Amino acid sequence: MLFVGTNDPRVCIGLGWLRASQRKLDHGRSLPYRPYHTHDEEWPLVPGEPVELMIEILPTCIVIPPGYRLALNIRGKDYEHGLGDARQPGELYTMKGVGPFVHAEPKDRPPAIFGGKNRLHFEPGMEPYLLLPIIP
């Protein structure tokens, strides 16, 4: 289900980004539902070596009716809904799901570093999770 967003007319309910090499947390400023990344050190990934990533999903609000499901989509690239570009004449950026917030600058994302495959690791004691509020 897509929604009308402030920066794109067809967006998913919530988005979150984190460059894995920028995963260092400030534990004094982080909250259980809002990790705070310092962005003061680069911690490159090592192929085959799992790391934990705490990714904030931007706050939003929706009531999910009984019987509906909430899905989480994890990808190593920007979200695109696949319905084409909803850009209006005169708008400067594409509208495919994240508005202007794309991560496609070759200088910032050189293919030699970012052109590989992503792998999710599921291990006992390091199971992935999604923290959701329960609001009665």
- On whether the CB atoms of residues 81 and 2 are closer than 8 A, the answer is yes
pTM recorded for the entire structure: 0.80
**Mean pLDDT per 10-residue run, the chain (136 residues)?**
87 89 96 94 91 89 88 87 91 88 86 85 87 79
Please report the beta strands in the chain, taking only residues with DSSP state E, as ranges in sequence order: none
Q: Which residues contact 24 (CB under 8 A, 6 or more apart)?
A: 37, 38, 39, 40, 41, 43
Domain ranges for the chain: 1-15+59-127, 17-56
* DSSP 8-state assignment for residue 11: B
Degrees (nearest 5) of the Cα angle 47, 51, 52? Answer: 155
